[in-house]
Amino acid sequence: MTTNKVFATLLTKQSYLAGTLVLNEGLRESGSKYPLVVMVTPELPQIVVDVLKKCGIIVRTIQPLRPEEGVNTLVDARFQETWTKLRVFELEEFERVVLLDSDMLVKKNIDDLMDISLVPGGIAAVHVCACNPRRFPHYPSDWTPENCAFTAVQTPTSKPPIPCDDPRPYGQLNSGTVILQPSRALAKQLYDFLAADPRVSTFTFPDQDLLTAFFSGKWTALPWYYNALKTLRVIHEPMWDDDAARIVHYILADKPWKSRTSQSQEYEVVNSWWWTQYDRLSRRLALEDEEVFNLLSSTVGA
């Protein structure tokens, strides 16, 4: 297996174990030749780390990363730990890393991301969806359908807009999928930015807003289907295609593994994709390793 290029994700809580293992299973089933590296923090229970290793996953222990206390108070509590995703830039042992969130499902092979061209010192990612369909009051005021980059994408194969600041959300990325070249020197610049830049106090979405600001003018826009937010299927129907979606991203708090039945009907189809993958994984683990199967089962709802 090729290891100079890898996929990576962050796991800080046992409750996200099912998401992480399903992410890995999707890579495996799609025939990827690149392994998954899971970054874990010291607080993660050792039993969970052992499960990852039993499943053949590469584990790297990293330290939590946050701004100084009181610097940023706008962040939703569930996003507090996502600053730590930026530690991925320290993984210099690898030539290229594709960072994925652990609440993602890989539907099709995505190895081509390892060959996407990057501008020098830059990254690649998918635009944010700035529609704010649930009208969350703490979201940016300019997050409206008129300002959403995906509103301009009318077919599944249309090219996304070139990142720009007019309207502002056209220049914002979603950090669910990020292609990068690790560099400790670059990581230090990011940490210095986190520690000193006054804009950090205004960020709503931690690592995502920081990456947008830091890599302004240096990030390449990827097609929507490499970070197919589940909400896009509902609010951007002209763009969406079930068969085109390669990576489905289960954003928002209602993760599919919380319950097999008590989920919103509008997301019933996309949630069923996750459960189909999970069921295949759990059946295999039930035969291969009862201890892993039992721990995994304990982290999902009925």
pLDDT in tens, 81-94: 889 999 999 999 99
Instruction: Give the distance between the most distant pair of CA atoms in the chain.
Output: 54
pLDDT band at 225; cut points 50, 70, 90: very high
* Of the listed ranges 71-80, 85-94, 264-273, 287-296, the one predicted with least confidence: 71-80
Provide mean pLDDT across the span 96-124: 97
Provide mean pLDDT across the span 89-114: 98
Rounded distance, CA 155 to CA 138, Å?
31
Q: Judging by beta carbons within 10 Å of its beta carbon (0-12, 13-18, 19+), is residue 163 exposed, middle or buried?
A: buried
Rounded distance, CA 264 to CA 31, Å?
31
pLDDT of residue 134: 86
Does the residue 94 lie in any domain?
A: yes
| Identity at 88, one-letter amino acid code | V
Does the residue 225 lie in any domain?
A: yes
Q: Is 13 in a helix, a strand, or coil?
A: coil
Phi and psi at 73, nearest 5°, equal -115, 5
Does the residue 111 lie in any domain?
A: yes
Under 8 Å CB-to-CB from 239, ≥6 apart: which residues? 150, 153, 154, 155, 156, 158, 224, 232
For residues 44 and 136, the answer to whether their CB atoms sit within 8 Å is no
pLDDT of residue 71: 58
Token digits of residue 71: 């610097």
Q: Identify the helix (H) or strand (E) that includes residue 23.
A: helix 17-29
pLDDT band at 236; cut points 50, 70, 90: very high
Provide mean pLDDT across the span 69-73: 57
pLDDT of residue 67: 82
- Global model pTM greater than 0.75: yes
Helices (H), 137-257: 184-196, 206-214, 232-235
Rounded distance, CA 223 to CA 220, Å?
10
- Is residue 35 pLDDT above 60, yes or no? yes
Rounded distance, CA 213 to CA 208, Å?
9
pLDDT band at 69; cut points 50, 70, 90: low
Provide mean pLDDT across the span 129-135: 93
Rounded distance, CA 76 to CA 173, Å?
18
pLDDT band at 66; cut points 50, 70, 90: confident
Per residue in 143-196, pLDDT (tens digit) is 999 999 999 999 999 999 999 999 999 999 999 999 999 999 999 999 999 999
pLDDT band at 74; cut points 50, 70, 90: low
Token digits of residue 237: 């129907």
Does the residue 244 lie in any domain?
A: yes
pLDDT of residue 246: 98
Token digits of residue 56: 């053949």
pLDDT of residue 302: 80
Rounded distance, CA 198 to CA 195, Å?
9
For residues 117 and 201, the answer to whether their CB atoms sit within 8 Å is no
Domain total of the chain: 1
CATH number at residue 92: 3.90.550.10
* Of the listed ranges 20-24, 107-111, 205-209, 230-234, the one predicted with least confidence: 205-209
- Is residue 76 pLDDT above 60, yes or no? no
Rounded distance, CA 247 to CA 23, Å?
9
Per residue in 36-60, pLDDT (tens digit) is 999 999 999 999 999 999 999 999 9
Does the residue 302 lie in any domain?
A: no
For residues 106 and 19, the answer to whether their CB atoms sit within 8 Å is no
Average pLDDT, whole number, for the chain?
A: 94
Provide long-range contacts, Cβ within 8 A and 24+ apart, for 222-226.
222/113, 222/116, 222/124, 222/125, 222/126, 222/160, 222/177, 222/179, 223/126, 223/157, 223/159, 223/160, 224/126, 224/127, 224/150, 224/153, 224/156, 224/160, 225/156, 226/110, 226/113, 226/126, 226/177
Does the residue 230 lie in any domain?
A: yes
Under 8 Å CB-to-CB from 182, ≥6 apart: which residues? 88, 89, 90, 91, 92, 93, 94, 96, 97
Range of the domain at 139: 5-297
Rounded distance, CA 28 to CA 19, Å?
14
